[in-house]
C-alpha cells in the first residue's frame, strides 16, 4: 500500500496537484479542533463545518480526548493558541466511536498476542505510565467531551480569553449537538 501511495505522490507533485492547497501555517478562522481519528470524519468533519484547507488546526487522536493535562494534545493546543493565533477551540466527539468502551485489559492482552513482552510492558509502569488509564476508553461520548472540556477550560496554561466549546457529531450525517460543561 505504501508503495502505491509513493507512486501517487510523485504524480501529484509532478502535476502540481498541491497548488490548490497552498496556504500558510496560520489558521484563517483562528480555530483549533480536537476530534477523533475516526476515518469517517476525514472528509465529513470539514465538509459539515464548512472548512477548507487552511481554515483550522485539527488535532486528532483516539476518541478526541485529553488523556493527560500536560500531554501532546494540550501541547499542540498551546502552540496553536500562543504561536498561531487560535482564539476558538472546538472539542468534537462523535457517535459510534471506536474508543468508546475500549478495555485496557483487552488491549494489554492484544499487545502480548503481538509479542510485546511482559518485561517491556512493566518498563512503562516504571516510567509512570498507568496502562489502566492510558489504554482505557470511555462509556459515554457526552461525558468524554465534558471531561475534556473541563480539563481545557480549567487548565492553568490555557489563556482564559480562548473560547472552548464542545460538541458531538453524528458520524453519518455530520450534525453537531452542543455539549455543555457542568
- The answer to whether the CB of 75 falls within 8 A of the CB of 65 is no
Is 94 annotated as belonging to a binding site? yes
Q: Is 97 annotated as a binding residue?
A: yes
Q: What is the dihedral of CA 105, 109, 115, 116, to 10 degrees?
A: 10
Q: Is 38 among the annotated ligand-binding positions?
A: yes
Please say whether the beta carbons of 136 and 68 come within 8 A. no
The number of beta carbons lying within 10 Å of the beta carbon of residue 90 is 21
* Residue 34 φ/ψ region, left for φ over 0, alpha for ψ in the -120 to 50 degree band, beta for the rest: beta
Helical ranges in 15-62 per DSSP H: 41-49
Beta bridge partner(s), residue 32: 57, 89
- Known binding residues for Zn(2+) are 36, 38, 94, 97
- Known binding residues are 36, 38, 94, 97
Amino acid at each position: 500500500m505504501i508503495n502505491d501511495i509513493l507512486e501517487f505522490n510523485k504524480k501529484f507533485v509532478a502535476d502540481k496537484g498541491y497548488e490548490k492547497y497552498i496556504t500558510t501555517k496560520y489558521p484563517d478562522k483562528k480555530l483549533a479542533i480536537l476530534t477523533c481519528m475516526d476515518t469517517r470524519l476525514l472528509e465529513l468533519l470539514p465538509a459539515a463545518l464548512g472548512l477548507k484547507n487552511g481554515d483550522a488546526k485539527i488535532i486528532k487522536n483516539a476518541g478526541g480526548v485529553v488523556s493527560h493535562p500536560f500531554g501532546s494534545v494540550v501541547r499542540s493546543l498551546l502552540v496553536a493558541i500562543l504561536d498561531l493565533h487560535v482564539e476558538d477551540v472546538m472539542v468534537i466527539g462523535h457517535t459510534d466511536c471506536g474508543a468508546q468502551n475500549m478495555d485496557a485489559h483487552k488491549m494489554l492482552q492484544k499487545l502480548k498476542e503481538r509479542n510485546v513482552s511482559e518485561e517491556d510492558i512493566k518498563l512503562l509502569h516504571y516510567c509512570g505510565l498507568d496502562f489502566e488509564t492510558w489504554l482505557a476508553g470511555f462509556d459515554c461520548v457526552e461525558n468524554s467531551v465534558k471531561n475534556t472540556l473541563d480539563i481545557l477550560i480549567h487548565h492553568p496554561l490555557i489563556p482564559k480569553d480562548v473560547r472552548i466549546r464542545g460538541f458531538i457529531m453524528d458520524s453519518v450525517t455530520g450534525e453537531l449537538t452542543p455539549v455543555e460543561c457542568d
